[in-house]
Structure formats: C-alpha cells, structure tokens
Amino acid sequence: MEMHEIRKLLVAVETLAVRPAQADENTLGEAIGYFKKLVNDRTQGAIQIVMFVDGKLVA
C-alpha cells in the first residue's frame, strides 16, 4: 500500500469521526476499501476483511 492511499484512508476516517455530517457514501467506501487494503498488505493476507450488505457478500 502506498503512502497516498494511506493518506486517503486517514482523511476518510477523520471525516467520519470528526465531521460525520460531511461524509457520504464515497467517504465510507474509501474508508472501508483502504482499510481492507491496509490490513491485507500489512498481514500479507493472513487476515482478510470481507463486507456484507443486506446479508450478501460484496466483492
């Protein structure tokens, strides 16, 4: 994972935590997507994050 991706993750998390009224579906998607990528990268795939929406697996 590259530094610019980590910065995007931090910005998305800050928005969700500090200014939730300014967050939209893109903010939430970036936070989830980049967090998933960070965990996968740092654990070399030993830990995986999966997301379900309405009981259905989202790829």
Q: Distance between alpha carbon 55 and the CA centroid of its chain, in Å?
A: 19
> What per-residue confidence (pLDDT) applies to 35?
96
Report how far apart, in Å, the C-alpha atoms of 57 and of each of 15, 18, 40, 52, 53 are.
26, 29, 18, 4, 7
pLDDT in 10s for each residue of the chain, 59 residues = 999 999 999 999 999 999 999 999 999 999 999 999 999 999 999 999 998 989 999 87
